[in-house]
């Protein structure tokens, strides 16, 4: 607390990211990073960009990256907005598109940055509870509102809605923006990007942090009708002209040029997830159906906070949220086969 703070600062409850430990050799399954590195082509592009050219500002519009993302998804560059991680894209979305007199609807259990942005930008919001299976029920959103944001698949549950269910939701709210945060879509969900051509109220957000293994570079994007994108550009250009540096732009382009690396690593994560789910179920865990690079699991007889602390003592990090309804769950990111095997062995010892 300081008397020099602007008044709003006192009211903020900032987001707390998962631990990024300084200790080596931990098995890190707590922040949904990809266990595999980025494509070698990305590393080559970064090396090539690391030159005297760094004295120059990057392209403020990241046009090469927008072109690349647009052609990958069969849309136009003016339907693409890019930012410094999807967190920054989300921040601009809350300010540009989600602040209305009527409340923004979002699930009570979802990405915990959403309420933080509501606090920062003064967005009036209303939580819509997940059902008793921890699922989003689209019919629960049939209510008067200013806008809707949903993560699909949802986090931290990992459960996905189908594209048809999302389309029904978008159709039911022609006068509201519906934002679908697809951070984890490549691990088993069905993207609704093709629907943006038909629905001017649909905005889809994705990130290169998860399935493209670039969490350390910070690249995210939104796609939607050019009018939605223009609103985002107005906010971005009132905040930071150059959110993506030269290295991030070059690496982001290269990431889309190596489809086989993307497919190989994504499929490996999915295969490991399936083995991990089977291993956890054998130990008696209830595991929610995951379409992501993490699983959300609870044990009927073992306290989740205790398990997380005991795993940490064994040099394995997983994420535990002290939040009503989910405080008996662990969110476990999918690591390599070896890391997940070590986790299952450690849990076996702990619950024996």
Ligand X SMILES: Cc1ncc(COP(=O)(O)O)c(C=O)c1O
| 108 contributes a contact to ligand X by CB under 6 A | no
Q: Which stretch binds ligand X (CB under 6 A): 84-92, 165-173, 307-315, 318-326?
A: 84-92
| 292 contributes a contact to ligand X by CB under 6 A | no
Residue 84, phi then psi, degrees to nearest 5: -80, 80
The CA-based dihedral angle spanning residues 128, 133, 139, 145, taken in that order and rounded to the nearest 10 degrees: 10
| 215 contributes a contact to ligand X by CB under 6 A | yes
The answer to whether 180 and 204 are in contact (CB under 8 A) is yes
| 86 contributes a contact to ligand X by CB under 6 A | yes
Footprint of ligand X on 41-80 (CB under 6 A): none
Work out which of 62, 69, 79, 87 binds ligand X, going by CB under 6 A. 87
Work out which of 105, 151, 177, 316 binds ligand X, going by CB under 6 A. 151
Q: How far apart are CA 70 and CA 300, in angstroms?
A: 46
Cβ closer to ligand X: 138 or 158? Answer: 158
Footprint of ligand X on 172-191 (CB under 6 A): 181, 183
Cβ closer to ligand X: 77 or 252? Answer: 252
Beta bridge partners of 178: 148, 202
Nearest Cα to 30, choosing from 241, 315, 226? 315
Q: How far apart are CA 129 and CA 77, in angstroms?
A: 36
Residue 135, phi then psi, degrees to nearest 5: -105, 155
| 293 contributes a contact to ligand X by CB under 6 A | no
Min CB(215)–ligand X separation in Å: 5
Count of positions on this chain that bind ligand X (CB under 6 A): 13
The two three-digit tokens of residue 105, written as one number: 């609807």
Strands 177-181 vs 147-151: parallel, antiparallel or unpaired: parallel
Q: Output the CA torsion sign for 72, 76, 79, 84.
A: positive
Q: How far apart are CA 27 and CA 33, in angstroms?
A: 12
Work out which of 32, 34, 176, 333 binds ligand X, going by CB under 6 A. 32
| 167 contributes a contact to ligand X by CB under 6 A | no
| 155 contributes a contact to ligand X by CB under 6 A | yes
Binding residues for ligand X, rule: CB under 6 A, are: 32, 85-87, 111, 151, 155, 181, 183, 207, 209, 215, 220
């Amino acid at each position: 607390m300081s008397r020099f703070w602007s008044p709003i600062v006192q009211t903020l409850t900032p987001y707390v990211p998962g631990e990024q430990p300084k200790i080596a050799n931990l098995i890190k399954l707590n922040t949904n990073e990809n266990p595999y590195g980025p494509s070698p082509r990305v590393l080559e592009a970064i090396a090539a960009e690391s030159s005297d050219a760094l004295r120059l500002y990057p392209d403020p519009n990241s046009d090469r990256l927008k072109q690349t993302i647009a052609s990958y998804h069969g849309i136009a560059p003016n339907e693409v907005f890019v930012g410094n991680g999807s967190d920054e894209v989300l921040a601009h979305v809350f300010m540009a598109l989600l602040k209305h007199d009527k409340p923004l609807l979002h699930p009570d259990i979802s990405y915990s940055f959403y309420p933080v942005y509501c606090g920062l930008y003064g967005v009036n919001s209303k939580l819509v509870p997940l059902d008793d299976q921890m699922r989003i029920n689209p019919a629960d959103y049939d209510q008067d509102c200013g806008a809707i944001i949903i993560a699909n698949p949802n986090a931290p549950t990992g459960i996905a809605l189908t594209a048809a269910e999302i389309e029904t939701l978008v159709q039911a709210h022609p006068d509201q923006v519906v934002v679908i945060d697809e951070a984890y879509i490549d691990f088993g969900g069905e993207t609704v990007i093709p629907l943006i051509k038909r629905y001017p109220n649909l905005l889809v957000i994705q990130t290169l942090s998860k399935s493209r293994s670039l969490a350390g570079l910070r690249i995210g994007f939104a796609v939607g009708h050019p009018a939605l994108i223009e609103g985002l550009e107005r906010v971005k250009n009132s905040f930071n002209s150059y959110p993506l540096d030269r290295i991030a732009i070059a690496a982001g382009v290269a990431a889309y040029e190596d489809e086989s690396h993307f497919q190989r690593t994504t499929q490996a994560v999915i295969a490991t997830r399936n083995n991990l789910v089977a291993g956890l179920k054998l130990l008696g865990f209830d595991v929610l159906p995951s379409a992501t690079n993490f699983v959300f699991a609870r044990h009927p007889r073992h306290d989740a906070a205790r398990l997380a602390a005991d795993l940490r003592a064994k040099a394995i990090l997983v994420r535990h949220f002290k939040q009503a309804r989910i405080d008996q769950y662990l969110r476990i990111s999918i690591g390599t086969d070896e890391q997940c095997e070590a986790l299952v062995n450690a849990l076996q010892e702990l619950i024996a």
